[in-house]
Amino acid sequence: MQAPLLLASTSKYRAERLASLGLSFTQAAPHCDESPLPGELPDALALRLAHNKAQSLSGEFPDHVIIGSDQTAAAPDGSLLSKPGTRERACHQLLACSGQAVTFYSGVALAGPVQDAWLVTTEVRFRRLTRREVERYVAAEQPLDCAGSFKAEALGITLFDWIRSDDPNALIGLPLISLAQRLRQSNYQLP
């Protein structure tokens, strides 16, 4: 019998993406500090947070395979693009990314009876954006809790010239291609 799956996330988008695989799972809020460590690079942060989120629920759900994920973004200069928190910071981030390529790191970790962790990289090129377009977008979507200040699953997709990734789901924060591969390796039934 397969261990039950648990998604360590409060994100409805991640839950919808996981549900699209046709697997039964429950969802719970992870317990971890998401602050970056001094000098921590965006890719290392995404992987550490995914691991910490999955591990934070392992004591509470010892018989579950727990899926933790997190995403970070690196500006063209390699610095971390944080969750903006305010409209002003979101507009500033988007204008700074205008016409630039930005790298997103989606970390995924499995805890419990199955242990694994990996990173999926996505590169996005923002089209040239005007202040008016950015302000209109931020007012419409309110992407204040999103790394990079956009939601690719909605209007944020209109901000890009292109997206490059081995997994198009990674930009929404849960890389389903690699997750499905790992779950199949652990004998979960997927088509």
Give the helix/strand (H/E) hosting 180.
helix 176-185
Q: DSSP H helical segments within 130-173, as ranges?
A: 131-141
Alpha carbon distance, N-terminus to C-terminus of the chain = 18
pLDDT tens figures, 124-142? 999 999 999 999 999 999 9
Active-site residue (options: 70, 77, 145, 167): 70
pLDDT tens figures, 46-98? 999 999 999 999 999 999 999 999 999 999 888 899 889 999 999 999 999 99
pTM exceeds 0.85 for this model: yes
Yes or no: domain 5-185 corresponds to CATH 3.90.950.10:
yes
Q: Is 77 a catalytic residue?
A: no
**Distance in angstroms (rounded) separating the CA atoms of residues 152 and 158:** 8
Amino acid at 88: E
Amino acid at 142: Q
**In the chain, what are the domain boundaries?**
5-185
